A and B are shown apart, each in its own frame.
Chain A
């Protein structure tokens, strides 16, 4: 079974540019999450999709970040325009819709974003 796939693995852009990160969850997983770790900080929740609907986007830092999951399959996270403080590792995770307590998140390897 394929795991959670994230693309690209690394992205280097200049401040003010746009970057789009992609996440392909495990097939059949209705839940999809985005997390990120910025330099020196802890891993933080960004948002949660159930199928194509945003269940919780309370962790999105500001309106420069836009996440989509059209069709309830893969998801994209766009940063426009990127700022220096957006540098970090962006993780995607997916899970089956089983709810607590047995929900296990499967994480991708992340996208390392560097904004120069």
Chain B
């Protein structure tokens, strides 16, 4: 049974570009959350998707957007990249009413130059 998977593992982008990160939830899970972890800090909640809709959003600008597909996988899109967007992006999944916090993916390391 595969856990949460994320792609790509690493990514280097230039300031001003756009990036798309992908997440496949653990089998049986229908809810996906995204977190940003800057170097030396704890993860910060970006948003959560359930039933293909954004259900809650953290304190992130509209440059951060997402999508959830019918198979429950999800994408995180970041437009107009800034140097400060360099971080580890983590995806977490759960069932709609299940326990949260136990299933995280390995993350995507984004570097903006």
Q: Do A and B come from one complex?
A: no
Binding site for B on A (CB under 8 A): none
Binding site for A on B (CB under 8 A): none
